């Protein structure tokens, strides 16, 4: 993808993935890497930031004899995701209007 992905968009994408179901860091990375050019080293700071901002909680769960760290969205994270989704819809509509020549001249 030739367009840059900023921190807010990464936060929104991670929250969207975790909102669907609790999951672990490698799975979040795998989902995003399948669609975007994002490295694992980019995503773990995002997860830490979202946890620090009380948008995600973490817990450990045993998997194949070892603990795996899972991420769960919080109420604050859901509200943040809803705000990001609404902002994205407005942004997407604006960009689409510009691409299609439907520009408000005011």
Give per-residue pLDDT as tens, 28-64. Answer: 999 999 989 888 888 999 999 999 999 999 999 988 9
Alpha carbon distance 48, 52 (integer Å): 6
Predicted local confidence at residue 1, as pLDDT: 67
Q: Read off the pLDDT of residues 69-89 as tens digits, 9 standing for 90 and up.
A: 999 999 999 999 999 999 999
Predicted local confidence at residue 38, as pLDDT: 85
Q: CA angle, 15 as apex, 74 and 9 as ends, to 5°? A: 140
Confidence of residue 5 (pLDDT cuts 50, 70, 90): confident
């Amino acid at each position: 993808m030739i367009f840059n992905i900023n921190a807010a968009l990464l936060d929104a994408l991670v929250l969207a993935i975790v909102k669907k179901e609790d999951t672990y860091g490698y799975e979040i990375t795998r989902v995003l890497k399948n669609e975007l050019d994002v490295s694992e080293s980019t995503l773990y700071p995002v997860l830490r930031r979202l946890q620090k901002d009380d948008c995600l909680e973490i817990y450990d769960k045993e998997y194949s004899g070892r603990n795996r760290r899972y991420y769960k969205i919080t109420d604050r994270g859901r509200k943040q995701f809803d705000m990001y989704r609404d902002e994205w819809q407005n942004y997407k509509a604006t960009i689409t209007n510009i691409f299609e020549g439907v520009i408000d001249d005011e």
